[in-house]
Amino acid sequence: MSDALLDVVVRTCEVQGGEVLVLELAAAHGQALPRFAAGAHVDLHVAPGVVRQYSLCGDPARANVYRLGVLKDAQSRGGSSAVHAQLQQGATTRISAPRNLFPLVTDAQRSLLIGGGIGITPLIAMAHALYAQGQAFELHYRGRSRSRCAFVEELLAAPFAGHVFTHFSDEGAEQQLNLAQVLGPPAAGTHLYTCGPAGFMDWVIEGARQQGYDAAHIHYEYFQAEVDNSGQGFEVQAVRSGKTVQVLPGQSLLHALRAEGIAVEVSCEQGVCGTCLCDVIEGEPEHRDHYLTDEEKQSNEQIVVCCSRARSARLVLDI
């Protein structure tokens, strides 16, 4: 994938569910956009130094437009609030080429897609792709209220509407998401995909594990997570910067590096996107991110700087 940014224009924008801005982005100069696979996201350059990741929620077969759904977060750190304020029809911005950290398994016999709130976005693209391929799947959409959720009407009118099931907290008991029933026994060839708030995803993932699903058949993508900075202090040698940094108890590694003038490229600052990934030369990290796989964490070859800490008294990093 090229690191070059793409200039795009907001072709259409619409607020759905009260707080979700649905954007259609086209190339600013009329050229074709890079094709993407279901599960992909783009980095949206909202303002200088403000970069946020948003899943592509359109049909991957539509090569001329990217579709995003951006929830206006009451705790916004300048990302979603700026998107809502600035990206109106005709506005221009820049994005990365699509990256996919949440791909569909190509040889799955059946796919279960379970989304909570704005976490439905990557699953919409998956539903389009699975339907086009003639694959067996179910899409379950859970939210607090039908009127406060985006994409509901279009999903229930989509060609794959027969595969869509909605579960809203303010509706009848029969509409609630019975997770054990939806998951069922872990049949061979069945793969689970989930995205949504961290607590919701933890519930789905743990439910699947309790049902006996193999870890390799449980796929997820966190878009927001709490950062835990508790723990003992440790020392970091930043090799390329030629500095040694003391990370204090309760202080984040990122803030300690910045305090010493060491530049770290960041985006989410929640251990989700991987922008601040750094190579580990010596020492044992304490991984607290949602980006690296379990195997990658076990190798201890890299660390997500914004949220992780150290198990050893000293880390040597290539930064």
Q: CB of 238 within 8 A of CB of 319?
A: yes
Is pTM, for the whole model, over 0.85?
no
Whether 206 is in a domain gets the answer yes
Share of the chain above pLDDT 70, in %: 97
Domain CATH code at residue 134: 3.40.50.80
117 & 188 share domain: yes
Domain boundary among 222, 251, 266: 222
83 & 124 share domain: no
Q: How many domains does the chain have?
A: 3
Whether 292 is in a domain gets the answer yes
Whether 228 is in a domain gets the answer no
Whether 103 is in a domain gets the answer no
CB burial readout 61-74, b (16+ within 10 A) else e: eeeebbbbbbbbee
199 & 254 share domain: no
Domain boundary among 184, 199, 222: 222
Domain CATH code at residue 292: 3.10.20.30
Residue 9 has which token pair? 């224009």
116 & 204 share domain: yes
89 & 125 share domain: no
Helix (H, G, I), strand (E, B) or coil at 81: helix
Whether 310 is in a domain gets the answer yes
Whether 44 is in a domain gets the answer yes
Whether 311 is in a domain gets the answer yes
Domain boundary among 62, 95, 128: 95
Helix (H, G, I), strand (E, B) or coil at 309: strand
pLDDT for res 173: 86
Q: How far is it, in rounded angstroms, from Cα 148 to Cα 229? A: 33
Q: CB of 98 within 8 A of CB of 125?
A: no
Dihedral sign, Cα of residue 266, residue 270, residue 273, residue 274: positive
207 & 240 share domain: no
128 & 210 share domain: yes
193 & 241 share domain: no
**Parent domain of 204:** 110-222
Dihedral sign, Cα of residue 205, residue 208, residue 214, residue 220: negative
Q: Which residues does the chain have with pLDDT short of 70? A: 1-3, 74-78, 224-225
Whether 101 is in a domain gets the answer no
216 & 134 share domain: yes
Distance of CA 53 to the CA centre of its chain: 7
186 & 260 share domain: no
pLDDT for res 186: 93
pLDDT for res 290: 81
152 & 119 share domain: yes
165 & 118 share domain: yes
Domain CATH code at residue 39: 2.40.30.10
pLDDT for res 2: 47
